[in-house]
């Protein structure tokens, strides 16, 4: 029996074309599929042009609708290959990881150079993604990035260059070194969180960078649903920030994430009682340790919407 794979295009550099003197994401998935070298196997390919966007213009609502679409097709396909822009690829990947965990065979890929560039890398990356999807079929399930000859789990990928062809790297060389907080097997799709896609469009969770000498406005908690602090080191906070954040944490979830690529919760060993003190103020720390600020934000989105769903609260309710 032939394997059935669905190629879903979201746009991005891999699908750029020059129109009226500017680069826009216009190329459709079917046309792209015609020019790649597909694996030598009996595969029934289907394509879906889901979006044609620069990846920084993708919204949480777009991703929620993508999850609904994939979920609706999950019984009909053995694997999904998603092409998207590289500016937000690791966020798209983590969102899909939160949604599906290890239930489906989902491979993401993209390009660092556009099709009209002499060193366009989209074709070879798609070939590699197709081979990876075929290899994972019936065996390894989960959300993975396949680019530049590397297969990286969605929970373990970081973009460390804005221009290199091999921009994406694993955060942890050995997945066993990574804190287990991000491990998801069932996926959020089973929590009925996608019944109201508008909730994903409406939720507002900013990431605030903590830097030397930075200050917080007490009015920052107005019109947001929560926030993530991108902290230096081991979730470090200036003492002057704590009262402002503590007042906010009394009404909204405040997550502390480290801006370091490796952010294991070692503060307990080096600074005894430090994480306990932070959590005593109402800040969320340990449940998000090991996640980047961007991943923490996406996890918080799901946690807030899950809480509202379980408690029967309207989408505009702003507390958890």
What pLDDT is attached to residue 100? Answer: 93
Phi, psi of 228 (to 5 degrees): -120, 130
Of the residues 191, 223, 255, the one at which a domain ends: 191
Query: Range of 232's domain?
Result: 203-311
CATH number of the CATH domain containing 288: 3.40.50.40
Residue 319 lies inside a defined structural domain of this protein: no
Is residue 174 one of the residues assigned to a domain? yes
- Residues 169, 234, single domain; the answer is no
pLDDT of residue 253: 97
Tell me, yes or no, whether 317 lies in a domain: no
In a domain, 318, yes or no: no
Give Cα separations from 45 to 51, 66, 69, 221, 271 (angstroms): 19, 19, 17, 48, 54
What pLDDT, on a 0 to 100 scale, did the predictor assign at position 85? 95
Q: Are residues 273 and 132 in the same domain?
A: no
Q: Look at residues 157, 191, 225 and tell me which one is the last residue of a structural domain.
A: 191
Tell me, yes or no, whether 186 lies in a domain.
yes
Q: Is residue 175 domain-shared with residue 270, that is, in the same domain?
A: no
pLDDT of residue 267: 62
Structurally, the chain folds into a number of domains equal to 2
pLDDT at 178: 54
Pair 185, 213 in one domain: no
Q: What are the DSSP calls for 94-128, one per residue?
A: HHHHHHHTTSSEEEEE--SS-TTSTT--HHHHHHH
Which regions of the chain are under pLDDT 50? 176, 313-320
Residue 156 in any domain: the answer is: yes
Whether residue 169 sits in one domain with residue 235: no
Do 39 and 168 fall into the same domain? yes
The per-residue DSSP string of 15-75 comes to: GEEEETTEEEE---HHHHHHTS---SS-EEEEEEEEEEE-GGG--HHHHHHHHHHHHHHTT
| Domain identity same for 33 and 175 | yes
Both 86 and 32 in one domain: the answer is: yes
pLDDT at 316: 42
pLDDT reported for residue 176: 46
Instruction: Tell whether 114 and 209 lie within a shared domain.
Output: no
Are 224 and 294 part of one and the same domain? Answer: yes
pTM score of the predicted model: 0.91
Determine, yes or no, domain membership for 228. yes
pLDDT at 205: 98
**CATH code of the domain covering residue 92:** 3.40.50.1170
Distance of CA 53 to the CA centre of its chain: 16
- Percent helix / strand / coil, the chain, rounded to 5: 35, 20, 40
305 Cβ contact partners less than 8 Å away, ≥ 6 residues apart: 193, 199, 200, 203
Same domain, 44 and 165: yes
Domain assignment present for 154: yes
Q: Do residues 213 and 123 share a domain?
A: no
Q: What are phi and psi of 277, to 5 degrees?
A: -65, -45
CA distance linking residue 86 with residue 168, whole number of Å: 9
């Amino acid at each position: 029996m032939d394997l059935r794979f669905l190629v879903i295009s979201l746009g991005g550099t891999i699908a750029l074309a020059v129109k009226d003197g500017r680069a826009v994401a216009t190329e459709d998935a079917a046309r792209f599929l015609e020019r790649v070298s597909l694996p030598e196997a009996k595969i029934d390919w289907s394509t879906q042009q889901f979006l044609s966007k620069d990846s920084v213009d993708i919204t949480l609502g777009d991703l929620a609708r993508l999850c609904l679409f994939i979920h609706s097709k999950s019984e009909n396909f053995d694997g999904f290959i998603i092409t998207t822009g590289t500016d937000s690829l690791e966020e798209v990947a983590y969102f899909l990881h939160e949604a599906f965990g290890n239930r489906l065979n989902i491979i993401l890929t993209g390009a660092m150079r556009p099709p009209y560039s002499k060193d366009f890398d989209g074709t070879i990356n798609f070939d590699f993604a197709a081979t990876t999807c075929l290899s994972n079929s019936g065996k390894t399930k989960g959300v993975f990035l396949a680019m530049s000859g590397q297969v990286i789990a969605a929970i373990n990928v970081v973009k460390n260059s804005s221009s290199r062809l091999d921009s994406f790297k694993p955060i942890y060389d050995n997945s066993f070194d990574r804190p287990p907080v991000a491990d998801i097997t069932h996926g959020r799709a089973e929590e009925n969180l996608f019944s109201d896609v508008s909730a994903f469009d409406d939720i507002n969770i900013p990431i605030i960078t903590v830097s030397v000498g930075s200050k917080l406005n007490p009015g920052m908690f107005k019109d947001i649903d929560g926030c993530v602090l991108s902290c230096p080191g081991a979730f470090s906070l200036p003492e002057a920030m704590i009262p402002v954040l503590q007042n906010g944490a009394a009404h909204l979830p405040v997550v502390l994430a480290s801006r370091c690529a490796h952010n294991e919760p070692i503060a307990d060993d080096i600074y005894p009682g430090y994480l306990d003190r932070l959590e005593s103020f109402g800040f969320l720390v340990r449940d998000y340790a090991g996640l980047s600020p961007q991943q923490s934000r996406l996890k918080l989105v799901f946690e807030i919407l899950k809480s509202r769903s379980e408690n029967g609260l309207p989408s505009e309710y702003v507390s958890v």
